[in-house]
Amino acid sequence: MTWFDDETAIRVTGDHAWSCHLDRHWNIGETPNGGYALMPVLRALGELAGHPDPLTVTAHFLRPALPDRDGVVEGRTVRRGRTIGTATASLVQDGSERLVAMAAFGVFGDSDDRSELDLSPPADIAPPDECFGASDLEEGIDLAIASRVEVRLDPGCAVPGASALARVDGWARLADGSAPSALALPLFADAFPPSIYPKLGRVGWVPTIELTVQVRRAPAPGWIRGSFVCDDVADGRLIETGTLWDESGRIVARSRQLAMLLADPT
């Protein structure tokens, strides 16, 4: 078992109900990363939907998840079709819903063909060994998740407040060396530092309100390359759009999230 498999595992406890345990090693500050908290729910959604591959998931984060605490995943099948199944489920801890999600699952095709519409990864992203570790940044918050997901940022977006663009480019992989999976792509989509960081500098915790990830194909082994841009900030909330590629340069996921821009705690 890898850290990812072991620490996102679910166990059947009843009809459409599972237990899970959220580990503190995936924390941002005192709170489990939202993409990580979603993983046990996504596993249950796959069982409810009856198909192997996640196609799209939308999660609403109602309140912070609790680290080093058991949880209950409760869900229902919305529709189980021949090619696509849809289900909804929630994570409950200490009697309160922490997040609720809906996902569609299907089956990826075998073709590696690329459409002429495929977005190529930015040509100016430095290779991983020339990038900065996310834990080295001055984000103003403890990143326990760095022990589980290794994130490296392009030097151009690793200096706080030094860029006119709210854009983060870099690489991510599971820290234990295990290969990325399609199921893990929503985690990677929420694991990078906030794209507002290069423009504003220290921003502390930027909690996600809603996250949608469309998974396009299973990734090849190796690093996941990511590019995230924020071009909309209003009323203390921001919108971020992201793209993930695998090492072969194929798009493996697109993401969009609404998050809260909180004041720097210092």
The residue among 3, 62, 11 whose CA lies nearest residue 36 is 3
**Over residues 238-245, mean pLDDT:** 96
Query: With helix as H, strand as E and coil as C, how does 153-203 read?
Result: ECHHHCCCCCCCCCEEEEEEEECCCCCCCCCCHHHHHCCCCCCCHHHHCCC
- pLDDT tens digits for 149-205? 999 999 988 777 667 789 999 999 999 999 999 999 999 999 998 898 878 766 667
The residue among 252, 197, 205 whose CA lies nearest residue 226 is 252
Weakest mean pLDDT among 12-16, 57-61, 68-72, 141-145: 141-145
The pLDDT value recorded for residue 262 is 76
pLDDT at 20 over 60: yes
Q: Tell me which CATH code domain 3-108+123-260 carries.
A: 2.40.160.210
- pLDDT tens digits for 54-101? 999 999 999 999 999 999 999 999 999 999 999 999 999 999 999 999
The residue ranges of every structural domain in the chain are 3-108+123-260
pTM given for the model: 0.93
Percent of the chain scoring above 70 in pLDDT:
92
